[in-house]
Amino acid sequence: MNRQQFQLITRLLKQYQSYWRQDPFTQVISGQVAWRGDNPELLTWLQALSRDAISTYKNNPPLFASKISDWLPDAELLSTITVPHRPFSESAAKLPRGLDSGIPGRKLQQISSLSDVCLSDHHGTQWLEWCAGKGYLGRLLSSQSQQLVTSFEFQSTLCESGQSEADKLSLPMTFVQGDAFSDEAGHVFSHHQHAVALHACGDLHVTLIKHAVRGKLPAVTLSPCCYHLIHDTHYQPMSNEGHEAGLTLSKQELRIPLQETVTGGERVKRHREQEMTFRLGFDALCSETGLSPAYIPIPSIKKSQLADGFEAFCLWAATKKQLILPIVDYGHYEGVGMKRYWEMEALSLVQGAFRRPLELWLALDKALYLQQQGYTTDVFTFCDPAITPRNLVVHAVRT
């Protein structure tokens, strides 16, 4: 199943690559849409969408995928690419007292779901928690299984805080401070361990998989994130199928799966809309008044500063970039920014239809690699995307 799904996603990603590789912000800034010549009717339809329709499609990528099959016939197949879901656990509510100490609400839901997944198909007599942070996941696993957990983490402050909490609760947990990319990291692996990782970034989860295979660990359960945090300039596929696929992915393209803000809530959405409107409006001001023919990247801004309004944003950005602004009608350019923001949102629907398939492709590549190394593997979601959009799990058991 993994292989067929991987091949289907590979085919669709390659067939429609001009539709998802280009960043919508760049499309609006440059006025160039890579696929315009191939599909002018799709562009016209997108440009005519109301804001409500854009929001509806944005919240429902499979619905949008089936809608665009009017123009991209095989895109219909995108809506058939589904991931099985492990039902969200209620166990957070029944945790022993003190076990949840210091764990923020959404994180608690994530770790209790993921620990249920790990415990329900546990292999080995110990655990290894990779890139553990404060070891929240390890805390639940050690408490529920009473087995030794080794929590490996780079930041010593997190190790100290996690160890002190584990000691308070008399849990069999040992933190090991170290760098996952160092040779010494290999020494924490043993063939007694079930390795687990919640949200291990790019090369960190790749390194975990390689060590686990080398150390013949009985099981690995990991949820990947931040696919772009890699040492190479491009994604290095792990599986034979991944190599054969011939799909190159730059770091920029590896960010595409992360461009989803479901957990942010209304305030985060409003800030994003305002900030992008301001940035796009400032760009229009600079190009129309001849201040700069090319896009000027503006540094990140504190969200609280956005409340000062568009004119204050422009003055701040101009100072940062040592530009002298002419006298302009700021209201006009803020309006232009808003119009461009909705153009960007409409264009991003197209890339959005490929976002989850791309993320799944990256997870399936690891699952297929683990299969080739003698594991049976499963890829599924461990919690609702509203709890974390990075909700994919690769679960592998050595056969």
Ligand X SMILES: C[S@@+](CC[C@H](N)C(=O)[O-])C[C@H]1O[C@@H](n2cnc3c(N)ncnc32)[C@H](O)[C@@H]1O
CB of 23 to ligand X, least distance (A): 24
Nearer CB in complex with ligand X: 21/366: 366
In sequence order, the β-bridge partners of residue 377 are 396
CB of 201 to ligand X, least distance (A): 6
End-to-end Cα, the chain, rounded Å? 18
Q: Which H helix or E strand runs over 392?
A: strand 392-398
| Residues 197, 166: Cα–Cα separation, whole Å | 18
CB of 268 to ligand X, least distance (A): 18
Task: Please report, as ranges, the residues that interact with ligand X according to CB under 6 A.
Answer: 131-133, 136, 153-155, 158, 179-181, 198-199, 201, 204
CB of 253 to ligand X, least distance (A): 21
Q: What is the three-class DSSP state of 132?
A: coil
Nearer CB in complex with ligand X: 65/209: 209
Q: Which H helix or E strand runs over 327?
A: none
CB of 381 to ligand X, least distance (A): 16
Record the tokens describing residue 97, joined without a space: 């007292």
CB of 56 to ligand X, least distance (A): 31
Nearer CB in complex with ligand X: 115/239: 115
Nearer CB in complex with ligand X: 204/298: 204
Nearer CB in complex with ligand X: 33/95: 95
Q: What is the three-class DSSP state of 225?
A: strand
CB of 187 to ligand X, least distance (A): 14
For the purposes of burial, counting CB atoms within 10 Å of the CB of 325, is it exposed (0-12), middle (13-18) or buried (19 or more)? middle
Nearest residue to 245 (alpha-carbon basis) of 77, 7, 17: 7
| CB-based closest residue to ligand X | 133
**At a CB cut-off of 8 Å and minimum separation 6, what does 49 contact?**
57, 346
CB of 141 to ligand X, least distance (A): 12
Nearer CB in complex with ligand X: 74/179: 179
**At a CB cut-off of 8 Å and minimum separation 6, what does 369 contact?**
209, 238, 239, 242
Annotate 65-92 with DSSP letters as a single string.
HHHGGGTSGGGGGGGG----BPPPP-GG
State whether the Cα torsion 179-175-385-396 is positive or negative. positive
CB of 106 to ligand X, least distance (A): 11
Nearer CB in complex with ligand X: 133/242: 133
Nearer CB in complex with ligand X: 317/394: 394
| Residues 254, 245: Cα–Cα separation, whole Å | 16
Nearest residue to 348 (alpha-carbon basis) of 267, 278, 272: 272
Are 392 and 360 spatial neighbours (Cβ–Cβ below 8 Å)? yes
- Phi, then psi, of 220 in degrees rounded to 5: -135, 130
Nearer CB in complex with ligand X: 21/134: 134
